Amino acid sequence: MATLSSLSKFKNTGLLLIRIGLGIMFIMHGYPKLLGGPDRWAGVGGAMSAIGITFQPLIWGLLAALAETIGGFLFLIGLFFRPTALILAFTMLIAALFHLDKGDGLMGASHAIEVGVVFLGLAFVGPGKYSVDKR
């Protein structure tokens, strides 16, 4: 489609839209976990059992809530973009494995898998020129 090929000059705008959309959604997804306190953190951190880590679920849950909330903000503005994308991809890997481990099947894990792949791919692509990290 030659008519749509002119959109290629807006790659940085596309990356900005992806960063804004995913960043806002991850802030909204992680903030309630962060506010949930120790009981919620321990529940979230229990997902690490999917890879055999059963100690300190409260700490792991707090780290996941921070990764989603602060990571979502950093992702949105494009600061420390690549490390943040990799941390969020890892968080989604654990979420996907947890869903698979508890028997939710591929449909239950699909959201975490999909967004994890997006984060991983964006770690290679970078934040684009409309970011704090602009390169």
pLDDT by residue for the chain (135 residues), tens only, comes to: 677 888 889 999 999 999 999 999 999 999 999 999 999 999 999 999 999 999 999 999 999 999 999 999 999 999 999 999 999 999 999 999 999 999 999 999 999 999 999 999 999 999 999 999 876
76 Cβ neighbours under 8 A, 6+ residues apart: 19, 20, 22, 23, 24, 27
Structure confidence at residue 8 (pLDDT) = 85
Structure confidence at residue 135 (pLDDT) = 60
Structure confidence at residue 3 (pLDDT) = 78
Positive or negative CA dihedral for 75, 127, 122, 124? negative
